[in-house]
Amino acid sequence: PTYQLNDGRSMPSFGLGTWFGFINLTTLKPVDEEASVRAVGWAIDAGYRLFDTAYIYGTEKTVGRGIKQKIREGVIKREDVFISTKLWSYSHARSAVVPALRKSLEALDLEYVDLFLIQTPIGQFTNGTYDLTDYTETWQGMVEARRQGLTRSIGVSNFNAHMMDRIIKSSCVKPAVAQIEVNLNIQQPSLLRYCCGHDITVMGYTPFGSVFPDNALPGAPGPRVDDPLLRQIAAKHNKTVPQIILRYLFDLGVIPIPKSITKSRIEENIDIFDFDLSSEERKALEVYDTIINPVDEEASERAVGWAIDAGYRLFDTAYIYGTEKTVGRGVKRKISEGVIKREDVFISTKLWSDSHAREAVVPALRKSLEALGLDYVDLFLIHFPIGQFANGTFDLTDYTETWEGMVEARRRGLTRSIGVSNFNAHMMDRLIKSSCIKPAVAQIEVNLNIQQPSLLRYCCEKDITVMGYTPFGSVFPDRALPGAPGPRVDDPLLRQIAATHNKTVPQIILRYLIDLGVIPIPKSITKSRIEENIDIFDFGLSPKERIALGGFDVNYRSGKSWSDSPYYVTREFTTV
């Protein structure tokens, strides 16, 4: 299979990576030239037609030799293979780009490459000092290299969406390809959506992440190659775990470029096009995505302050969000200013999946309280019904045991109320039957696409208050997953209702959730949005408008569901 690039050229959908890696965190492994040449030859024989190298890898020469050898043997022609290489960090000046590519072409012994990438957005000279050249200037040199016919396509590596946006706005030529790290632990859904929306093809390096124990850094999350779920999926398809991972990345729309110099591995890696993963299997693999976007602490703290000034008194955080510290600081600042007292605000946080053992609950909450700088929280929730350790293996502790730890945390006064998040009705029933204390709150996804009527009725009957996360669902185009159902923010019906009440579409959605009996918790770090979101209590929706909004419910989740896990405690569940 091939991808059509935005410049009209075609690119193979699978490739061979040729980097030999590091000996340690600072020293590159020496290149075994003969092994590298052989690997390229084996790959061509196995059907590979995409080869990824870079000046800094030291493999341009051996990649070129391997290709030339197969051309001489009559196995391929030059136009049959797609060669990508990269501009290293000390050639970021606009005038340095073409000479750097000529040097790479000399090593490859080629007249042109098919793809030339800026390897990193930051320039750095050989003496270690940083080159402050703006990468938009570097991009102008890349465009010139393409104009001169030295490369057919150009792109970037290790760039984020903002950086690519700057390039697109600064030039009439946009990146054809973005090469980024993609594996089970860092699946990059937001960046993949961005690239899809801008017709930028994605290559994924380090596709196996930390799956092989001897390649995993200390403390790296799982899964490992012997993970029960991965082995189960592999056995079902009569494939290996690495093949399952590579197929999953291909299904994400990523071109994987696994590296190997072992003939059997090279042949195995590309043998992924004779089977398909089911939607259930893909959802199960999605759960391994553990990357958390870094928190902008100052922005988070400011947002809390603005929210308090706007009238918010409920703040929802979680250990895994990394925002407990900034929420606590924002609240404390407003207390010190005399704007509020501690008892004026309601703080909720959550127990993460690696602390499901009964005896781990109280220590986990104490850790959260330390981060918040508080003596107690108002609400403590079990974040997910399924426990999972840091190494990626599942904790089979029954959540009813976890609940006993939650009850103990409440008994000690560390939290005023306790509840659950991402639990379904059957699960809450089990908690209620197992304990004299039932959940006070259930936090679930509720938005126009997943309105959860059955679960809302259940919670109402059981007197369990509902908090609704992701209240806007897929309404904003830049946050919607590919194929996500409407409506979008420009939907005519939503705009008509908003105009009737002199409100915005987001305000109409939030008011509708209030009318459903849900406490919405929209997130924002923008002052105007924060103020706008809470300004929904001076109007009411008509019954006709509520019925119309109810029509958007298609039971579509924008997030992941633990109900797809084979370790789910029960398969008898309602919508989560």
Spatial CA neighbour of 422 closest among 572, 238, 559, 237: 559
Give pairs for 193-200: CB < 8 Å, separation 24+: 193/478, 193/479, 193/480, 193/481, 193/482, 194/161, 194/164, 194/478, 195/164, 196/253, 196/482, 197/477, 197/478, 198/164, 198/168, 198/174, 199/6, 200/6, 200/155, 200/164, 200/174, 200/175, 200/176
Instruction: Give me 569's structure tokens.
Output: 């405690």
**Token couple for 148:** 């001169």
What CA–CA distance (Å, rounded) separates 493 from 193? 26
Cβ atoms < 10 Å from Cβ of 552:
22
- The string of DSSP letters for 93-105 reads SHHHHHHHHHHHH
Question: Kind of pairing, strands 130-131 and 123-124?
Answer: antiparallel
CA neighbor of 453 nearest in space, from 382, 551, 369: 551
Exactly one of 321, 458, 469, 512 is catalytic; which is it?
321
- Cβ–Cβ under 8 Å, residues 119 and 86: yes
Give which of 431, 506, 495 is closest to 462, Cα–Cα.
431
Distance CA 70, CA 74 (A): 6
Query: Rounded CA gap, 494 and 475, in Å?
Result: 10
Both structure tokens of 61: 């020469």
Coil, helix or strand at residue 457: helix
Query: Given the structure tokens 């957005």, which residue do they identify?
Result: 121
**What stretches of 10-82 show up as alpha helix (H) in DSSP?**
33-46, 60-72
Given a contact cutoff of 8 angstroms between Cβ atoms, the answer to whether 576 and 561 are in contact is yes
Helix (H) / strand (E) element for 270: namely helix 263-270
568 catalytic per annotation:
no
CA–CA distances in Å: residue 313 to residues 194, 310, 347, 373, 515: 34, 9, 8, 17, 19
Q: Which of 165, 179, 194 is nearest to 481 (CA)?
A: 194
Give the torsion sign (CA, 459, 463, 469, 475).
positive
> How far apart, in whole angstroms, are the C-alpha atoms of residue 178 and residue 201?
6
What tokens appear for 370 in the block?
């330390």
- Output DSSP code: residue 196: H
**Other CB atoms closer than 10 Å to residue 342's CB: what's the count?**
13
Strand stretches in 46-176, DSSP E: 50-52, 82-87, 113-118, 123-124, 130-131, 151-157
- Catalytic sites, residue numbers: 321
